[in-house]
C-alpha cells in the first residue's frame, strides 16, 4: 500500500464515525466578540476554521489560524494545537472574550435599572 492510503486511514480515524468529535472539539470553547458586542462561542475546529475564513483581512495570524485548522481537520495536528493558534489570532485582533469580560463598548456602562 502506498503512503496515500496510509494517510487516508490516519485522517479517517479522526474524521470518521463517532471519533470525529474527540478529534475536533475544543476542550474549552473560544468566545469572540462579533457584531455589536455579542459573544460568539466556537466549540470546534470547524467553527474556528469558518470564522477565520470569513474574517475580513489577510494577516499572518489569520493565515496561521487557517493553516492550523486545516491541519487539525486533516488529522496532522490535534484540536488543541489549532485552538492555540486560533486563540493567538483572535487575541491579536482584540476580539477574544476573556472569562467574565464585558463587551468593549459597554464596559463601564451602568444600567439605570440596576
Summarize pLDDT for 10-20 with one digit per residue, the tens: 443 454 444 45
Identify the pLDDT of residue 11.
42
Provide the whole-model pTM.
0.72
pLDDT tens, N- to C-terminus, the chain (114 residues): 444 444 333 443 454 444 455 569 999 999 999 988 899 999 999 999 999 999 999 999 999 999 999 999 999 999 999 999 999 999 999 999 998 767 665 555 444 444
Where are the chain's structural domains?
3-92
- Torsion sign over Cα 92, 25, 51, 97: negative
Amino acid at each position: 500500500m502506498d503512503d496515500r492510503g496510509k494517510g487516508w486511514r490516519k485522517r479517517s480515524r479522526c474524521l470518521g464515525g463517532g471519533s470525529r468529535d474527540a478529534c475536533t472539539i475544543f476542550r474549552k470553547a473560544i468566545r469572540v466578540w462579533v457584531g455589536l458586542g455579542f459573544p460568539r462561542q466556537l466549540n470546534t475546529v470547524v467553527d474556528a476554521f469558518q470564522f477565520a475564513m470569513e474574517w475580513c483581512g489577510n494577516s499572518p495570524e489569520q493565515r496561521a489560524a487557517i493553516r492550523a485548522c486545516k491541519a487539525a481537520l486533516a488529522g496532522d495536528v490535534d484540536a488543541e494545537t489549532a485552538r492555540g493558534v486560533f486563540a493567538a489570532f483572535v487575541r491579536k485582533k482584540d476580539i477574544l472574550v476573556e472569562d467574565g469580560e464585558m463587551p468593549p463598548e459597554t464596559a463601564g456602562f451602568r444600567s439605570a435599572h440596576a
